[in-house]
Amino acid sequence: MKQIISTDDAPAAVGAYSQATMNGDILITAGQLPLTTDGELLDNEPVSRQTEQCLDNVTAILNSEGISLDDVLKTTVFLDNINDFDAFNEAYSAYFDEKPPARSAVEASAIPKGAAVEIEAIATTE
Ligand SMILES: C=C(N)C(=O)O
């Protein structure tokens, strides 16, 4: 059965979606924008800082269910500009230095709120 995951340690949704959902041992996050828990959008920060905020948000959601980035099976990354790939990748790599999850990274023509990056994750609680 679908379970809705909600935590005050990650930014609230900016639309009609849940921060994450679960079914059994699989947790799927919504795409995380570079928003702080106060709702501040870091759109004027470099893509590296925006990447960190997205991953901090993913981490907070996972932690609310007692799991961590080590339990992520797959991420999907949307970049506003694929030329940011190297800067994004360097920041991302610091969060996944060992056994990184599978990943897809693509350029999207636009990301909500004018963000440079959005990251979603699929994780297991097993
Ligand atoms: C930010 C999102 N994840 C959305 O609008 O779907």
- What distance in Å separates the CA atoms of residue 109 and residue 122, rounded to the nearest whole number? 23
**pLDDT at position 114, please?**
96
pLDDT > 90? residue 126: no
Q: Which of 32, 26, 27 is nearest to 11 (CA)?
A: 32
CATH of 3-124, one of 3.20.20.70, 3.30.1330.40, 3.30.230.10, 3.40.50.720: 3.30.1330.40
Whether 13 contacts 109, CB under 8 Å = no
- In angstroms, how far is CA 79 from the centroid of its own chain? 12
- Is the CB–ligand 1 distance for residue 121 below 6 Å? no
Question: Hey, CA dihedral for 106, 112, 117, 122, is it positive or negative?
Answer: negative
**pLDDT at position 61, please?**
98
What is the average pLDDT value for the chain, to the nearest integer? 97
What single string gives the DSSP state of each residue in 107-123? E-S--GGG-SEEEEEEE
Is the pTM value of this prediction over 0.90?
A: yes
**pLDDT at position 98, please?**
87
Write the pLDDT tens digit of every residue in 10-63.
999 999 999 999 999 999 999 999 999 999 999 999 999 999 999 999 999 999
Q: How confident is the model at residue 97 (pLDDT cuts 50, 70, 90)?
A: confident
Give the domain ranges of the chain: 3-124
Pocket test for ligand 1, best of 14, 42, 80, 111 (most atoms within 8 A of CB): 14
Q: Of all atoms in ligand 1, which is nearest to the CA of residue 113? A: 1
Write the pLDDT tens digit of every residue in 71-91.
999 999 999 999 999 999 999
**pLDDT at position 24, please?**
97
